[in-house]
């Protein structure tokens, strides 16, 4: 079995990192798993190569767990993955992946993460129609049909946990997540893997991280992997890539490949600008 169609909206996939229950209407994450048996596998491998068994990973914006399951298997039962996902529908699928793969070292939170505790709002979504459900941003003011989402800070949840890597993919709220993790940044000095695809917010995000004695490097893996798990040659995503930054604290001795361009200031031109 590669993909077992359960109904027009749902499929069960035997993928690279395990079994996944996916929403077939999710054009990027769910559809990639159904067609290729993986989602952004080049990015996933890069992150795994930063970790060793026993490490603790925090994933903010876990979506349905496309990376979560592989990370949990990589760090092993002596390691842990703390996964945060505010969308109830995506969170339900994340829990399904945990059950399907018996990855009991994953600890999930159905909430958003920001600079302070409170609530934000999720715009109404129709998960029975095609969309990019991983590209949804939380809103700070409610409107008709919006759903309230509980929000916490990483310092509130995990300030006493020694964290090896902090992965953040939160559709423009990356800086706010880091602002709520000052204690973690100070005592754990984790590796950072942070999405940075909002040109208008890039400068402030970069300068915030650099001011905490981190070095930053661009990592822009393509979404399509020609060596995908199902050996499908057709590339439905064209030149679409992820725009992320690897952050390494100056106290860490991590060799970074020469092909990764270092970011020295928020004033530098963004690749998408």
Contact between 167 and 60 under an 8 Å Cβ cutoff? The reply is: yes
What percent of the chain is modeled with pLDDT above 90? Answer: 94
Mean residue pLDDT across the chain: 96
The pair phi, psi for residue 162, each rounded to 5°, is -80, 115
Give the rounded distance of the alpha carbon of 128 from its chain centre: 23
Model confidence pLDDT, tens digit, residues 184-221: 999 999 999 999 999 999 999 999 999 999 999 999 99
88-92, 220-224, 257-261: least confidently modelled range: 257-261
Model confidence pLDDT, tens digit, residues 51-98: 999 999 999 999 999 999 999 999 999 999 999 999 999 999 999 999
The DSSP 8-state label assigned to residue 133 in this structure reads G
pLDDT at 77: 96
Model confidence pLDDT, tens digit, residues 120-158: 999 999 999 999 999 999 999 888 899 999 999 999 999
| Domain limits, the chain | 3-263
pLDDT at 182: 98
Record the pTM: 0.96
Q: Residue 256: pLDDT above 90?
A: no
pLDDT at 257: 78
Q: Element (H or E) spanning 10, and its range?
A: strand 10-15
Paired strand residues for 26: 131
What superfamily does domain 3-263 belong to in CATH?
A: Vaccinia Virus protein VP39 (3.40.50.150)
Contact between 209 and 166 under an 8 Å Cβ cutoff? The reply is: no
> What is the pLDDT confidence band of residue 1, given thresholds at 50, 70 and 90?
low
Contact between 89 and 127 under an 8 Å Cβ cutoff? The reply is: yes
SS3 42: helix
Q: Which of 167, 211, 165 is nearest to 188 (CA)?
A: 165
Mean pLDDT to the nearest integer, 14-36: 97
Mean pLDDT to the nearest integer, 33-44: 98
Q: Which of 258, 170, 159, 164 is nearest to 218 (CA)?
A: 258
Q: Which residues contact 197 (CB under 8 A, 6 or more apart)?
A: 242, 243, 272
More confident residue, 258 or 83: 83
Q: Which of 64, 134, 52, 148 is nearest to 98 (CA)?
A: 64
pLDDT at 210: 98
């Amino acid at each position: 079995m590669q993909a077992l169609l359960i109904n027009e909206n749902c499929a069960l996939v035997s993928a690279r990192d395990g079994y996944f229950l996916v929403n077939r209407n999710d054009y990027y994450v769910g559809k990639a798993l159904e067609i290729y048996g993986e989602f952004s596998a080049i990015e996933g491998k890069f992150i795994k190569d930063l970790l060793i068994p026993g490490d603790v990973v925090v994933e903010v914006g876990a979506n349905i767990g496309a990376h979560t399951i592989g990370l949990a298997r990589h760090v092993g039962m002596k390691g842990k993955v703390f996964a945060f996902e505010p969308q109830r529908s995506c969170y339900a699928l994340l829990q399904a992946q945990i059950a399907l793969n018996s990855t009991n070292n994953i600890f999930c939170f159905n909430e958003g993460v920001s600079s302070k505790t409170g609530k934000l709002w999720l715009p109404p979504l129709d998960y029975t129609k095609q969309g990019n459900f991983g590209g949804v941003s939380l809103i700070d003011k409610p409107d008709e049909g919006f759903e309230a989402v509980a929000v916490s800070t990483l310092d509130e949840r995990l300030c006493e946990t020694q964290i090896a890597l902090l992965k953040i993919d939160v559709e423009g709220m990356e800086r706010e997540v880091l602002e709520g993790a000052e204690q973690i940044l100070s005592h754990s000095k984790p590796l950072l893997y942070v999405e940075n695809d909002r040109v208008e917010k890039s400068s402030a995000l970069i300068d915030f991280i650099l001011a905490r004695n981190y070095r930053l490097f661009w990592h822009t893996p393509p979404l399509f992997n020609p060596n995908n798990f199902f050996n499908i040659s057709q590339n439905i995503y064209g030149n679409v890539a992820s725009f992320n930054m690897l952050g390494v604290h100056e106290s860490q001795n991590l060799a970074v490949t020469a092909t990764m361009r270092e970011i020295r200031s928020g004033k530098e031109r963004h690749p998408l600008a």
